[in-house]
Amino acid sequence: MSWQSAIACWLLKRHFRPETLKPHVSVERARAHASTRIRRVSVPSGWRLAVCDGAGDAPLRGEWLEPEACGSVARTMLYCHGGGYYFCSPASHRPLVFGLAARARTRTFSLDYRLAPEHPFPAALDDALAAYRRLLADGTPPESLVIAGDSAGGGLALAALVALRDAGDPLPAAGVLFSPWTDLAATGRTIESNDGRDPMFCGAAIGRAAKFYVGDADPTNPYLSPLYADFSGLPPLLIQASSTEVLLDDARRVADRASAAGVRVELEVWPELPHVWHLWTPFVPEAKRALDRAAQFVRLHACERAGQTEPGATPR
């Protein structure tokens, strides 16, 4: 563990984990914490950021990160941010998204999907599917497209892959999942075994937080908890998780079941890091190295394409 990672773990244990020890999860406190955590992040040199507010002919909200030079990027990524389905936003995840997109040379739409509890399941999934289908309708070849996400967004990305396959849509080239939350029934063994080792979450908070998005649905619905899905026919997956996080089993069990279904899976378990440590880039060196690995995976599996849509085109 680097000293930078040790500092990140100390800060989380001091300022974030105490919130997850409380008997009730507060949506308001979580959203307020996320808003104060948003820091000014510079757009990578040679790239431009366009925020889409969902007005006019673009009902979906999110952010495009695109190269300033038209035609200089040949791949596209649809990114789903984490935050338990009830807080955070594309703005809170800019360090991760900017770092991955620039490394992979991938134009990226970071989706601002609807949040629970105001919009429970399947609202987030519906938004992710609509965004993906709009990318295809705008001329993005599926073989040049990657869907990615972290934590709840990692589970959402995987659920979208399952739903797209079941609906007969063309599938993207690959999926990238950072510390994915894939089991909202909260049955993973590491929820207990890593309780106290995870610098960010207590184990009991996982089941409590799940209720916001689950609502009245069955938490084992595979479109809600993709751990319970049949993974046959999915594209290659890269999964990165920390050895000490309570959601480690959400990653390991998906990797095992997907591999058994014939899916090409790369599971990387990084030692003693915070949940979604990628957000701490560029401060934490392990975050930079993990994003380097993810970018390599994207470049390996997503084909370059000859043409591209006009810069700033927004999924709708």
Residue 59: which H helix or E strand, with range?
A: none
Q: Is 273 left (phi over 0), alpha (psi -120 to 50) or beta?
A: beta
Q: What is the three-class DSSP state of 173?
A: coil
Report d(CA 214, CA 209) in Å as an integer. 9
Do residues 167 and 202 lie in contact, with contact meaning Cβ atoms separated by under 8 Å?
no
Catalytic residue of the set 151, 179, 225, 242: 151
Catalytic residue of the set 179, 245, 286, 301: 245
Catalytic-residue membership of 89 = no
Do residues 269 and 248 lie in contact, with contact meaning Cβ atoms separated by under 8 Å?
yes
Catalytic-residue membership of 179 = no
Q: Which two structure tokens, joined as six digits, stand for 79?
A: 């990114």
Terminus-to-terminus CA distance in the chain, angstroms? 42
Do residues 171 and 161 lie in contact, with contact meaning Cβ atoms separated by under 8 Å?
yes
> For residue 88, what is the DSSP state?
-
Catalytic-residue membership of 118 = no
Give the residue numbers annotated as catalytic, written as ranges.
151, 245, 275
